[in-house]
Amino acid sequence: MIFLLASVVAAMSPAAAQDKLPVKPGKPWTHTHSGIVVPSTLDELPRVRATSFAAPELEISQNFASEDGRQSLTLSIFRDTNGAVPLWFAQAQRAILLRADLKNPMLAVPPRAFTPPGQSAASGLKAVYAPTEVEGIKSTGVALFEVGDWYVKLRANSATLTPPDMADWMEGVIAELTLPQGSAAAAVPVADCKPKLAKAPEAAGSMLADAALTAGVKSPAARIEAKLWCLERVVRGNFAVYRPDGARDRYLLASGDNGKAFLVQPQGSGRMRYHSVNFLTAHQATIMPAQNRLPSPQRVLDMAEAKRMVTAVATWPPRPATASGRP
């Protein structure tokens, strides 16, 4: 089932291959949209690979490694489609736990906040795991923070560093990046939602909103702005539901740890009120059939499996900023 859903998510995304990201050997690379400068080496580890997952530079990664492979780093930059640092950090943590080769690693350094260079608040989060009986990996860590409309994620592996040393190493590596000055909210690890949403039974035929209304939905809903997100539940694998500011009528269903998500929220009013379902990627928002009440996450995934799509709207280049300052 997880493989099937992953295939559906890929099918709903714009066609994209893993292409080489143009970088000059021995030279720093600048992310066009954010101004982040990545040197050609990080803590003396040379860049060994640079990959573009969504052009133009909407999702990229760069890999750095020692010659013997005992120390390695992966730096990723991806677009802020919605959500917040704690949400995507939780997704990144779960991605580590789901890796079969790490054999369910023990959390050795629990999530803690740190202050990225150029920022005044502890707006980033980091955590370190200690795999057991995994050859060549003594500690593995993740750190994530935001720069404007972009998330920066660092994954690190070491055959020699203890977990506390790994936590310090990641911050030292991040300090080697050149980051634009900016501000971001202090980050707090995501907590479980309390109380949980009731799981109401759904009759498939009763959930679809009026066909005329669905046909009239031509543009994606606005992003959800929230100070806090809580974890409602993990559906399966790395599909997890988060609610903004304790709201009970909307949620984000994250798919993986790189910004892809289903955004579900109410729209309209009176007889024209409905719940929109948008699938967000770096390039576009895929609009799914309108629902006449809050659909369960399983309902959303069922629609995705059935490829129930109304239209897809490009979100890059972004539209002019609204009063909230976001496109």
DSSP 186-234: PP---EE-SSPPP-----HHHHBPPHHHHHH--SPPPPPP-S-EEEEEE
- Cα 174 to Cα 36: distance, rounded to the nearest angstrom: 11
Residue 227: phi and psi, rounded to 5, are -80, -35
More confident residue, 198 or 166: 166
With contact defined as beta carbons under 8 Å apart, do 231 and 190 qualify?
yes
The answer to whether the pTM exceeds 0.75 is yes
291's enclosing H/E stretch is strand 284-291
Dump the DSSP string for 2-58. Answer: HHHHHHHHHHHSPP---EEP---TTS-EE-TTT--EE-SEETTEEEEEEEEEETTTT
Average pLDDT over residues 80-105: 97
240's enclosing H/E stretch is strand 239-244
Q: Which pLDDT score is estimated for 272? A: 84
Name the percent of the chain lying above pLDDT 70. 87
Average pLDDT over residues 117-137: 95
The ranges assigned to domains in the chain are 21-174, 191-314
Q: Which pLDDT score is estimated for 323? A: 41
- Cα 246 to Cα 312: distance, rounded to the nearest angstrom: 29
Q: Which pLDDT score is estimated for 208? A: 58
- Cα 91 to Cα 179: distance, rounded to the nearest angstrom: 24
More confident residue, 212 or 11: 212
CATH code, residues 21-174: 3.40.1000
Query: Nearest CA to 278 among 256, 261, 297?
Result: 261
Average pLDDT over residues 103-116: 97
pLDDT band at 319 (very low <50, low <70, confident <90, very high): confident
Average pLDDT over residues 95-100: 97
pLDDT band at 199 (very low <50, low <70, confident <90, very high): confident
Average pLDDT over residues 41-55: 98
pLDDT band at 197 (very low <50, low <70, confident <90, very high): confident
Q: Which pLDDT score is estimated for 128? A: 98
Q: Is the pLDDT of residue 2 over 60?
A: no
Query: Which of 158-162, 235-239, 269-273 shows the lowest per-residue confidence on average (mean pLDDT)?
Result: 269-273
Q: Which residue has the tokens 């990545």?
A: 38
CA dihedral of residues 187, 191, 196, 200 (deg, nearest 10): 70
Average pLDDT over residues 246-255: 96
- Cα 3 to Cα 146: distance, rounded to the nearest angstrom: 30
Q: Which pLDDT score is estimated for 5? A: 53
- Beta strand segments in 98-221, E: 106-114, 124-130, 139-147, 150-158, 191-192
